[in-house]
């Protein structure tokens, strides 16, 4: 195995053996049970015990699922930060990096291995839980969102973006500091997306540019919009499109998928920030 | 390649902001030597090792390890390292830590079981291979670190204070391990301030203080000469001046101490004292220990 893959495997092992991962999985299962129970009750929620019609169930289920999806993406982004922010700084502080980096392994391989390991762990967590949740919703209300694969891809991409940032910060900052910075930036990105939407709704180019700028500087909210779009049924998209610009400010709505150039930008962003992390860690004294 | 020295440095220097950790280290350590790098706390010993392993970057100067410039990953290919302050992944077992390092060191997978069993046995952890490293005592961690440094037949082993947490048995084991390495022709670079230990195993030493080498050579070269204590009275000032040529002279409570004197010159010293009118009551000679020499050097440097 190449040194990069050895470090990646070690990182996955470390994350899976930590209590954090077990707690996360346990809590996720509890939340999923609650969500499923809620969805199962959905058809009986009409006024005075009236059964909801099929169209209504789909409308409510889809919007509810978007909220659940947001919670999920939030948890995932948080976990990615918790995994990434202490990873390099923690190894340097504890002295575990000393023995490893004295082996014939380059700093780039070490950083890349850490990144790959955390990305793999994110996927190991995100794919089965999303699949299970969507399956459970399908079982209880027979509703499947239109683009489940795209949803997972966008949510995972959001986590990878914030993870890459946290990892880059951890080349220089202590775990707590880097983690807080990454989370604050994630929040700023989210608000920036809303601000941009408000600008669009009120036709104010300056405010719109602020939103666009934050989406370019930190593509987490852009990825979240992609995830929302993947969950919107065609009927809702149609209605909301007719609402026009007014809907743009809603952080839980996206009329269109992120355009291909934006996806390319995001991929480039991850590559550049990862490159910066490697550069920074290569100059770090152990 | 084999003719290359194990370590060669030229004006290797490291500065942390205003602290000079290493001020221009120039040395050559031949292959197969057991080299003791001695110095008080903060002298720059750990810094030197970290520079050699590419863990820190030199401010200036250059160095080669096994013929490859430092910082190049190939320079670490045949090197074992026991860090001074370190921890292994606490959630791995001792055996898993050793396997990880076998893999990173590029050791053939078929050889792992033997390498791991040998390392555990050598450092006295044969029974604890399946124990999580997080539960190890400090000394057990250090033993494991030594085992890690020995994996895969390294050509050079760098040990940074290998016995700092060890019990007397452990210290004895480290001496035995070092001797076994020397017998196999492995170069050992030993950082220490435990002089008795260095004296027992090293063939060459360098003494560093505040980032500078203040003495170096083989132990014989460094400890050449005896220490003579003479109880003498009625010695004139001229007499005192006359014996300065024999070595470092100190006087305390009627005893003159002359350090670094050649053994055959002792009768000449006594004769000189008598000629100067001194009345000699007693003469004691002793071989100077590394500790005396060390303290004397450091005293002179301050
Ligand atoms: N990362 C660092 N940042 C700032 N100063 C440092 C750093 N590492 C070492 N120093 C300084 O460099 C000098 C040499 O330190 P070094 O650790 O090499 O000493 P040492 O000889 O190994 O001492 P000891 O016997 O205590 O282990 C000290 O003055 C120390 O304060
Ligand atoms: Mg030290």
A127-141: pLDDT as tens digits: 999 999 999 999 988
A19 DSSP assignment: H
Question: How far apart are the C-alpha atoms of A264 and A102, rounded to whole Å?
Answer: 37
Pairing of strands B187-192, B34-38: parallel
Rounded to 5 degrees, what are φ and ψ at B285? -115, 150
Nearest residue, CB atoms, B73 vs list A17, A94, A106:
A106
B72 DSSP assignment: S
Angstrom distances, CA of residue A283 to CA of A136, A147, A277, B18, B54: 49, 43, 10, 19, 10
How far away is chain A from the Cα of B298, in angstroms, using its nearest Cα? 29
Question: How far apart are the C-alpha atoms of B45 and B21, rounded to whole Å?
Answer: 9
Please give the pLDDT value at position B260. Answer: 77
Q: pTM for this one? A: 0.88
Please give the pLDDT value at position A48. Answer: 67
Residues from chain A contacting residue B54 (CB–CB below 8 Å): 101-102
CB contact under 8 A, A98 and B83: yes
CB contact at 8 A, A275 and A112 = no
**Which residues neighbour A145 within 8 Å (Cβ) at sequence distance 6 or greater?**
A62, A65, A134, A151, A230, A231, A233
**ipTM for the whole complex:** 0.86
Rounded to 5 degrees, what are φ and ψ at B151? -60, 140
Query: A125: pLDDT confidence band, cut at 50, 70 and 90?
Result: very high
How far away is chain B from the Cα of A30, in angstroms, using its nearest Cα? 27
pLDDT score of A46 more than 80: no
3-state percent breakdown (helix, strand, coil) of chain A, nearest 5: 85, 0, 15
**A196-214 pLDDT tens trace:** 888 888 888 888 888 889 9
pLDDT score of A29 more than 70: yes
Nearest residue on chain A to B108, alpha-carbon basis: A1
Break chain A into its structural domains and give their ranges.
3-282
Please give the pLDDT value at position B242. Answer: 78
CB contact at 8 A, B76 and B53 = yes
User: Which domains are present in chain B?
Assistant: 7-218 (3.40.50.300), 223-301 (3.30.70)
**Which residues neighbour B108 within 8 Å (Cβ) at sequence distance 6 or greater?**
none
Per-residue pLDDT of chain B (302 residues; tens, 9 = 90+): 557 899 999 999 999 988 999 998 999 999 999 999 998 888 999 999 999 999 999 999 999 999 999 988 889 989 999 999 888 999 999 999 999 999 999 999 999 999 999 999 999 999 999 999 999 999 999 999 999 999 999 999 999 999 888 898 889 989 999 999 999 999 999 998 888 788 888 989 998 988 888 888 887 777 777 788 889 888 877 777 878 888 888 887 788 888 778 778 888 888 888 888 888 899 888 777 777 777 777 775 44
Residues from chain B contacting residue A96 (CB–CB below 8 Å): 86-89
How far away is chain B from the Cα of A19, in angstroms, using its nearest Cα? 11
Which ligand has the minimum distance to the alpha carbon of residue A92?
A: 1
List the alpha helices (DSSP H) in chain B: 45-52, 94-104, 112-122, 138-150, 168-183, 195-201, 219-222, 237-242, 266-275, 290-301
Please give the pLDDT value at position B155. Answer: 94
Q: Which helix (H) or strand (E) holds A179?
A: helix A175-201
**Which residues neighbour A265 within 8 Å (Cβ) at sequence distance 6 or greater?**
A216, A219
**Residue to test with chain A: of B15, B19, B87, B101, most A Cβ within 10 A:** B87
Please give the pLDDT value at position B302. Answer: 41
Question: How far apart are the C-alpha atoms of A111 and A91, rounded to whole Å?
Answer: 11
Nearest to B47 by CA among B212, B186, B216: B212
Share of chain A above pLDDT 70, in %: 96
Q: Which helix (H) or strand (E) holds B82?
A: strand B79-82
Angstrom distances, CA of residue A185 to CA of A89, A120, A180, A191, A207: 19, 23, 9, 10, 18
Please give the pLDDT value at position B250. Answer: 82
A254 versus B25: which is more confidently predicted?
Answer: B25
How buried is residue A120: exposed, middle or buried, by Cβ count under 10 Å (0-12/13-18/19+)? middle
């Amino acid at each position: 195995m190449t040194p990069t893959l050895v470090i990646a495997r070690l990182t996955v092992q470390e994350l899976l053996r930590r209590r954090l991962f077990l707690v996360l999985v346990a809590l996720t299962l509890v939340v999923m049970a609650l969500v499923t129970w809620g969805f199962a009750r959905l058809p009986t929620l009409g006024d005075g015990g009236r059964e909801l019609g099929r169209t209504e169930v789909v409308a409510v289920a889809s919007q509810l699922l978007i909220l659940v999806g947001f919670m999920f993406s939030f948890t995932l982004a948080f976990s990615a930060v918790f995994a990434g922010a202490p990873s390099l700084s923690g190894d340097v502080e504890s002295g575990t990096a000393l023995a490893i980096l004295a082996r014939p392994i380059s700093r780039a391989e070490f950083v890349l291995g850490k990144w790959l390991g955390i990305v793999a762990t994110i996927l190991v967590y995100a794919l089965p839980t999303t699949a299970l949740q969507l399956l459970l919703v399908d079982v209880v209300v027979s509703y499947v969102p239109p683009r489940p694969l795209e949803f997972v891809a966008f949510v995972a991409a959001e986590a990878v973006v914030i993870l890459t940032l946290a990892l880059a910060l951890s080349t220089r900052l202590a775990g707590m500091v880097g983690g807080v910075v990454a989370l604050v930036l994630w929040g700023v990105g989210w608000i920036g997306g809303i601000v941009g939407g408000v600008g669009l709704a009120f036709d104010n180019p300056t405010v719109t540019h602020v939103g666009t700028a934050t989406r370019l500087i930190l593509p987490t909210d852009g990825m979240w919009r992609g995830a929302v779009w993947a969950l919107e049924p065609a009927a809702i998209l149609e209605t909301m499109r007719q609402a026009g610009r007014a809907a743009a400010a809603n952080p839980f709505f996206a009329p269109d998928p992120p355009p291909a150039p934006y996806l390319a930008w995001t991929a480039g962003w991850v590559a550049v920030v990862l490159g910066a992390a490697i550069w920074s860690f290569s100059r770090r004294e152990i | 390649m084999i003719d290359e020295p194990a370590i060669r440095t030229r004006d290797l220097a490291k500065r942390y902001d205003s602290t000079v950790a290493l001020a221009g280290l120039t040395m050559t350590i031949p292959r197969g030597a057991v080299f003791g790098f001695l110095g008080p706390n903060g002298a720059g010993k750990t810094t030197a090792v970290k520079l050699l392993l590419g863990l820190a970057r030199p401010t200036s100067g250059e160095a080669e390890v096994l013929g490859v410039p430092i910082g190049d990953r190939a320079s670490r290919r045949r090197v074992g390292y026991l860090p001074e302050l370190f921890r292994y992944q606490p959630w791995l077992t001792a055996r898993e830590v050793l396997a990880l390092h076998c893999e990173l060191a590029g050791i053939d997978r078929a050889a792992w079981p033997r390498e791991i069993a040998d390392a555990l046995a050598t450092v006295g952890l044969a029974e604890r291979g399946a124990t999580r490293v997080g539960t190890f005592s400090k000394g057990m961690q250090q033993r494991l670190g030594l085992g890690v440094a020995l994996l895969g037949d390294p050509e050079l082993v760098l040990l940074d204070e290998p016995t700092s947490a060890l019990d007397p048995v452990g210290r004895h084991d480290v001496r035995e391990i070092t001797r076994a390495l020397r017998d196999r022709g492995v170069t050992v670079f030993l950082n220490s301030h435990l002089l008795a230990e260095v004296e027992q195993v090293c063939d060459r030493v360098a003494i560093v203080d505040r980032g500078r080498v203040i003495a170096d050579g083989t132990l014989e070269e460094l400890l050449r000469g005896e220490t003579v204590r003479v109880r003498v009275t009625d010695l004139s000032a001229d007499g005192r001046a006359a014996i300065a040529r024999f070595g470092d002279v100190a006087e305390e409570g009627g005893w003159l101490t002359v350090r670094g004197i050649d053994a055959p010159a002792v009768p000449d010293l006594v004769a000189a004292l008598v000629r100067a009118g001194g009345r000699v009551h007693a003469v004691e000679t002793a071989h100077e220990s590394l500790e005396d020499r060390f303290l004397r050097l450091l005293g002179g440097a301050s």
